[in-house]
Structure 1
Amino acid sequence: MKIGILSDTHGILKEEVLKNLEGCMALFHAGDVGGMEILERLRKIAPVYGVEGNNDSIEMGLPKSLEVELEGYKFFMIHDLKSIKEVPKGYDFIISGHSHQFDIHYKSKTTYINPGACGKRRFGLPLTMVLMNLEKGTHLEIITLDK
């Protein structure tokens, strides 16, 4: 199962992002979506699991955090991981955004993923996203976007 993981689009959904998401069976958006039109375009590709970012409107109806189980893996997602006092335990993956800084690290049996931002370049950071493949174990691929 191929999963696209993105964050901080801030209302911009680049064609390069859409091309990389082709063939995904699920999409995770870790907040700061920037509008319903972004979610609608993403839903044409695959089911979208998204959370509200600090720049998203409450009218979008996104939860502050989300728990999802796919292919036997447990996911927890929140926009800003620093916004919670204690990181929940028992998840295979914790996905967050907010910082615009790509990061993958491991703590105990949990993989922490921040896909970075793939909307508008900010803070001098590259635009990034992550593709995950859950077939025959877990494979993570960082995608650095051209523009």
Structure 2
Amino acid sequence: MHRDQNAHSVAQKGSEVSASGLDTDWRGLERVRLAIVSDTHGQLDARIGELVAGCDLAVHAGDIMGAAVLAALQPRLGQVLAVRGNNDVPEKWPGSELALLSGIPLEVSLMLPGGDLVVVHGDRAGPTKTRHARLRALYPAARAIVYGHSHQLICDTAQTPWVLNPGAAGRVRTFGGPSCLILEAGTTDWQVRAQRFPA
């Protein structure tokens, strides 16, 4: 499998964490199940953690704010791919975790069965009204684009690339309860399911 050679990966309690240095080419598999989370702000809802355990991979779209969140994500294949959010800065992370933070990129592209998934935080994608159009213009070859930042659960599958936001998987501004997305990526079809838990 392809590995990003610019990479730096960190092991956290049995899972490899960060996007750098991890496998990003999963096209050799017939189907991959991904848990997609974002905007944990230092706390992952335990119910979402249980869902992640039933998936092959986990993706975090930023505003992680601590290694404990990434360590709590334990997908079956042991890889957690994450991007930095606007709150993932040294001032908001414990000093002992800054090496991990520095290895987390601003953008990740995963090659999945049936197409590519691009993950960004979304804070640099412009105003809310034009964000989806701008993301589609920036990543026209993707099959789907995941972003966070707004804390709003969205599955915009009206056109390709899809634009997906898993909402907030922690306790901060969940707008009705912590949420995530489960993406089933197959060679011929993709399906996405939203999951929201009561606050």
Letter in 2 for 1:109: T
Give the corresponding residue for 1:42.
73
Aligned counterpart for 2:105 among listed residues 47, 63, 67: 63
Equivalent-residue separation in structure 1 for 2:111 and 2:75 (angstroms): 21
Letter in 2 for 1:52: R
TM value normalised by structure 2: 0.66
Letter in 1 for 2:58: L
In structure 2, relative to structure 1, the CA distance for the partners of 1:75 and 1:44 (3 Å cut) is closer
Runs of 5+ unmatched residues, structure 1: none
Give SS of 1:134's match: strand
**Is the Cα contact below 8 Å between 1:118 and 1:145 reproduced in 2?**
no
Of all paired residues, the percent bearing the same amino acid is 27
Equivalent-residue separation in structure 1 for 2:167 and 2:138 (angstroms): 19
Give the corresponding residue for 1:7.
38
Task: Please report how far the alpha carbon of residue 120 of structure 1 lies from its aligned counterpart in structure 2 after TM superposition.
Answer: 0.9
The question of 1:21 aligning with 2:72 is answered: no
Equivalent-residue separation in structure 1 for 2:179 and 2:59 (angstroms): 14
Give SS of 1:83's match: coil
Give the corresponding residue for 2:194.
142
Structure 1 runs (4+) deviating above 4 angstroms are none
Letter in 2 for 1:50: A
Letter in 1 for 2:190: T
Answer with 1 or 2: which has the greater Rg.
2
The question of 1:77 aligning with 2:119 is answered: yes
TM value normalised by structure 1: 0.87
Equivalent-residue separation in structure 1 for 2:74 and 2:104 (angstroms): 14
**Is the Cα contact below 8 Å between 1:27 and 1:47 reproduced in 2?**
yes
Letter in 2 for 1:137: D
Task: Please report how far the alpha carbon of residue 109 of structure 1 lies from its aligned counterpart in structure 2 after TM superposition.
Answer: 2.2
